[in-house]
Amino acid sequence: MTYNRRTMLGLMGGTTLTAMLPTMACAQERGLDLSQQRYDRDRGWRDSVSVATMTLMVPGRGESVRQMSISALETDGDGDMSLTEFDLPRDLDGTKFLSHSFAVQPDDQWLYLPSSGQVRRISSRNKSGAFLGSEFTYEDLTSFKVGKYTYEYAREEAFADQPCHVIRQVPVYDHTGYSAVNVWLDTEHLRPLKAEFTNRAGVHFKTLTFTDYTLYQGQFWRAHTAAMANLTNGRETTMRFDQIAFGVGLDPSQFSPTRLG
Amino acid sequence: MTSRLARFYDRLLSYRIVVLIATVLVTVLIGSGMGKLAFSNDYRDFFPADDENLLAFEQVQDTFVRTNNVFVAVRANDGNIFTPDGLTRLAGLTNALWSLPHVERVESLANHQFINAGQDTIAVTDMVTLENAMTAQQAAQFRQMSLAEVSVNGLLASDNAAMAGINILISDAGVTELGKAEFMAALTRLLAEIAGDDFTTHMTGSIVIDHGFDVAAQGDLEVLYAGMYLLVLILAGVLTRSVAATFGVLLLMTCSWMIALGGAAYLGVKLTAISVAAPTVLMTLSVAQAMHIVFGVQKAGRQFTDRRAAVASSMVRNTVPLCLVAASTGIGFLAIMWSEVPPLRDLGMILTFGLIALLVLSLTFLPAFLSFFSLGSARHMRRVDRQMIGLGRFVAGRTTALAVGFGALSLCALAALPLNRINDNFIEYFSAGHIIRTDAMAINADLTGVHHAYIRADAISGSVFDPGFLAELDEFGAWLETQPNVRHVTTYADTLKRLNMALNADDAAAYALPDTRTQAVELNLLHELSLPFGQSTESMLSFDRDAAKVTIVLDNLDSSDLLILEDAIQGWIDTNASTVAYGRPTGPMSMFAHIGQSNARALLWSTLLAFAAVSVLLMIALRSVKLGLISLIPNTLPALLAFGIWGMMDGQVGLAVSIVTVMTFGIVVDDTVFLMTRFREHMRPGDFRGTLIRTLRDTGRPVINTTIILVAGFSLLAFSSFRLNEGLGILTALVMALALACDLLLLPAVLRRALFGADTRPAPRAPAVPHAAE
């Protein structure tokens, strides 16, 4: 994370140091505060299931589809657990991916391989590689945790006809692919509507937009579509979530690696 | 005709101020387009849109991750890079490279994803981290592990452990000229920080070589081309003894450039490394045209005291041959325009444009301009005249001997023609001491190859996880490894084999392809879920998993050797393909190897066609089939002889050298047309010697002046550190010098035999009075 520290120091350097400190502290506080609110509003969903359909689009080359069923369990600690069962491509049928996620420390991940009946643990320091060849990385798909980033309130700005807070998030966990993520949260519900990802060279190279929000159980907003556009290569991946259900009574033991097979 | 021309020039010169103003206006008007002139660095502009090599490359680029690479090597001067210090530096450099502009991915020992097997774990991970420095013992273990890995040894680390490689992939935005310059500046700074007493760095790759071309071409443009133009103008002044003539040449070429390039810009033409030759070609033509006209004015100055009358007289004498030269040269340029290669088409168009502008300007602006000045002294003209008479006597006195001598030498040179081959070696375009060449050679010698080729392999079954497909891919890779000039081959089969071994507790016996499709799919998923930022299997597999990319790392090799390898690959495919549909081998090096071939072939054919057309034109103009056919000798022989000599000197005919025929076409034709039309004009039956002397007195001097000026100018290019320009300079100078030699030594004998028949006896040696013999 040397890069980020350097950027911060650069920002703070020079004669503007004294003048900027109060404003910066204020912006950081406000960013953190809003993000904490965002997190708090989404607590208490306990468990959920959904079917995710990922469509990879390559200009001039057509589309390719991956499909998976996702079960998720909220925990009291700083992370959630999720179990992904692959349906498409058919070659992956029966393969399961289990993840225990944490805010800062690397996630625990296991893969169940049906052909050999084996469960393999995966080193998850690398969460920033392309997920199934898509424009998403595993990093993009893990749940939001306050401790994952430092925050800075940037500005208020409308997006998709809704007034939004723009918050600059800088990852504090290791092995990230991003130097910063700018997130647009609508002022009313603090739902993410858009995220812009900046790579290590400081270039904004991916944009994620969330659409089709639906309110579940009167409390939990879920976007049915997430579209990631890669500005460097023109490729795009959309992820559609269907059959979303909450409180289906998932058993924590289902999320144990020994029970995968 | 003559009287009509005289009336035309009379009127033109009385409105000379108007002519000058009109010239300035037209030049500025059309030349203003030059502001819009774009320079293209895009290799796509070198190919017709439907070219199969271009399509193959584009397909690979679209299907897999686009690759524009820079390769950096770090050498530990004590012979071992696997030390805590060496590895930490490598990790630091790898990390820093990520933040350079346009970088999409960096691969090195420090972030290479080693596949490790644990009890129940597969770890795909980088071994060197900045946070935890290795101990000396760990570094030694890491050395053993790295060198045992096929994906590392000979690519990211040298077998002797002294050198480590870092492969940097750059996005397409980094391939523009500005992007390249920006990236290279940042990279150079970074490498300077890391190098020192203990470490040496080298770099190569398509971007480095490309950027090197840009810099070298720019440097030559600023120093050598500037020097060449200066020398040309100075020599023009010295040889004509006239400052006005020098300025005439300068203005003539400047205006014709502006009109040609401005006009081309309006038509949306983008300049390429090939079409930038246009201004130089126009310069040569400007010199030739101006020399004829200026000499004519100077000669007429002895008869007319009125400057305008002298200019008009010269113009009346020269208009017809000048038009004939322009028409002939125009045929040559049109022939280039018909070629299939887009940059050559553009070059042909710019030149045709420039030629028309040049002809109009020589017939209007130049006489108007010259009529304001007194051109040179009578003493100078008398000396010139004496020289030409002497030359005429010398040649006429020993026609046969000269022709036989020249013919014998010609045969030797012609015999060496087959020594030439169409070939480019992009690294060797730089002279021996050039950093780009020494870096590439160091990397090539100690670590890995410097060129890359790619082959798209489609699975006929529709899935790359099909065991039959993988087996054939593996076999293909193994065969490729055995081919000459192939340094390293990467296929997805290797990755799967390594994963399979890891899944079986790193048992070397399990280094084999998975047995079933399901197993292959699972291994792939395991791999995909474990990759770090910037990495995806997209660099090796298509997004719908129906095609795989084979990457071949090649030695620094000649383009002709690459084409031989490509043929061998096609041969293997023809006999062995069953589950795989292969694309053509492709890549930047391959593309330019094919460009070199198609350019050279296109130029050869269009030049031959043009020479044939020129001889037909001369048949009509001179009203003689015989003379038209004879013109083929002085027109074609110089280039053939020059390439014969080139065959003995070097023999590599590449992209730049093949342009020599275009560069010299106009001048060679100019010499021939003037000498032959004047010879025909001055011909008196039975008086070969007198005819030759009168011809040389009339037109010998401008032809010789043009040759001296241009040969000297182009010889300067031979000092370029950029071998493209060096070869171009040497060959162009050679062709022009040989054209003059051919016109003075061989052509007289041929004309004598053809037009004077058997009744001419060899003239006696050294007669006292002109016209005394015969």
Q: B192: which 2 tokens? A: 């300077």
Domains and CATH numbers, chain B: 2-36+212-421+596-759 (1.20.1640.10), 65-204 (3.30.70.1430), 452-555 (no CATH)
- Name the residue among B517, B522, B544 with its Cβ closest to that of A64: B544
Chain B: residue nearest A127 by CA? B532
Are residues B530 and A132, on separate chains, in Cβ contact within 8 Å? no
Question: Minimal Cα–Cα distance from A31 to chain B, Å?
Answer: 26
Cβ(B221)–Cβ(B279) under 8 Å?
Answer: no
Q: Which residues pair with B297 in a beta bridge?
A: none
Question: Minimal Cα–Cα distance from B459 to chain A, Å?
Answer: 15
* pLDDT tens-place string over residues A211-257: 999 888 888 888 899 999 988 878 899 999 988 888 888 888 888 88
Q: What span, in angstroms and rounded, lies between the C-alpha atoms of B195 and B502?
A: 37
Predicted confidence at residue B735, as pLDDT, reads 92
Question: Minimal Cα–Cα distance from A227 to chain B, Å?
Answer: 17
Query: Which residues, including other chains, have CB under 8 Å from residue B505's CB and lie 6 or more apart?
Result: B117
* CA B453 vs CA A175, B48, B363, B599: distances in Å: 32, 21, 53, 21
Give the residue ranges of DSSP H helices in B545-587. Answer: 559-576
Are residues B124 and A123, on separate chains, in Cβ contact within 8 Å? yes
Q: What span, in angstroms and rounded, lies between the C-alpha atoms of A47 and A80?
A: 10
- Name the residue among B62, B517, B537 with its Cβ closest to that of A91: B517
Q: ipTM exceeding 0.90?
A: no
User: Token match 């320009």: residue?
Assistant: B725
Residues of chain B with pLDDT under 70: 1, 41-43, 65-66, 116-132, 173-175, 177, 273, 376, 532-535, 758-774
Query: Which residues, including other chains, have CB under 8 Å from residue B152's CB and lie 6 or more apart?
Result: B109, B112, B146
CA-nearest of A223, A196, A241, A259 to A70 is A241
Chain A hits for B104, Cβ within 8 Å: 232
Chain B hits for A61, Cβ within 8 Å: 62-63, 542-544
Are residues A92 and B525, on separate chains, in Cβ contact within 8 Å? yes
Chain B hits for A121, Cβ within 8 Å: 118, 120-122
Query: Which residues, including other chains, have CB under 8 Å from residue B523's CB and lie 6 or more apart?
Result: B496, B499, B500, B503, B514
CA-nearest of B167, B118, B164, B121 to B143 is B164
Plot region of A121 (φ>0 → left; ψ -120 to 50 → alpha; else → beta):
beta
Are residues A126 and B113, on separate chains, in Cβ contact within 8 Å? yes
Chain B: residue nearest A110 by CA? B121
Are residues A130 and B528, on separate chains, in Cβ contact within 8 Å? yes
Chain A: residue nearest B523 by CA? A113
Predicted confidence at residue B272, as pLDDT, reads 74
DSSP B437: H
**Of A2, A122, A205, which to mutate for an interface test with B (greatest number of B Cβ within 10 Å)?**
A122
Are residues B544 and A119, on separate chains, in Cβ contact within 8 Å? no
Give me chain A's average pLDDT, please.
Answer: 81
Collapsed DSSP state (helix, strand, coil) of residue B463: coil
Cβ(B328)–Cβ(B618) under 8 Å?
Answer: yes
Write out the DSSP string of B166-201.
EEEEE-GGGGSHHHHHHHHHHHHHHHHHH-SSSEEE
* CA B748 vs CA B404, B621, B634, B702: distances in Å: 12, 20, 11, 18
Are residues A201 and B538, on separate chains, in Cβ contact within 8 Å? no
Q: A253: which 2 tokens? A: 């033991």
Phi, psi of A225 (to 5 degrees): -130, 135
Chain A hits for B112, Cβ within 8 Å: none
Chain B: residue nearest A237 by CA? B543
* CA B596 vs CA B211, B318, B452, B590: distances in Å: 19, 39, 18, 10
Provide the sign of the torsion angle of the four alpha carbons B637, B643, B644, B645, taken in this order. positive
Res. A10 pLDDT band, cuts 50 70 90: very low
- Name the residue among A116, A121, A202 with its Cβ closest to that of B120: A121
* pLDDT tens-place string over residues A76-107: 766 788 888 988 777 788 888 888 887 777 77
Count CB-CB contacts under 10 A for residue A1.
Answer: 12
pLDDT for A12 beyond 50? no
* CATH number listed for the domain at residues A39-61+127-246: 2.50.20.10
Chain B hits for A57, Cβ within 8 Å: none
Buried b (16+ CB within 10 A) or exposed e, B611-641: bebbbbbbbebbebeebbebbebbbbbbbeb
Q: What does the domain layout of chain A look like in residue ranges?
A: 39-61+127-246
Q: B623: which 2 tokens? A: 């009203």
The C-alpha angle with vertex B342 and arms to B340 and B345, in degrees rounded to 5, equals: 80
Q: Mean pLDDT over residues A164-180, rounded?
A: 85
Q: B391: which 2 tokens? A: 């030359």
Give the residue ranges of DSSP H helices in A1-158. Answer: 2-12, 17-41, 138-141
Q: B480: which 2 tokens? A: 């490729």
Are residues B122 and A64, on separate chains, in Cβ contact within 8 Å? no
Predicted confidence at residue A4, as pLDDT, reads 38
CA-nearest of B289, B246, B307 to B9 is B307
Q: What span, in angstroms and rounded, lies between the C-alpha atoms of B533 and B169?
A: 13
Q: What span, in angstroms and rounded, lies between the C-alpha atoms of B406 and B743?
A: 11
Question: Minimal Cα–Cα distance from B105 to chain A, Å?
Answer: 10
Chain B hits for A95, Cβ within 8 Å: 521-522, 525
Chain A hits for B100, Cβ within 8 Å: 201
Query: Which residues, including other chains, have CB under 8 Å from residue B121's CB and lie 6 or more apart?
Result: A120, A121, A122, A123
Q: B83: which 2 tokens? A: 């030390």
Q: What span, in angstroms and rounded, lies between the C-alpha atoms of A47 and B283?
A: 80
Question: Minimal Cα–Cα distance from A253 to chain B, Å?
Answer: 20
Q: What span, in angstroms and rounded, lies between the C-alpha atoms of B202 and B709?
A: 42
Predicted confidence at residue B532, as pLDDT, reads 67
Chain B: residue nearest A137 by CA? B533
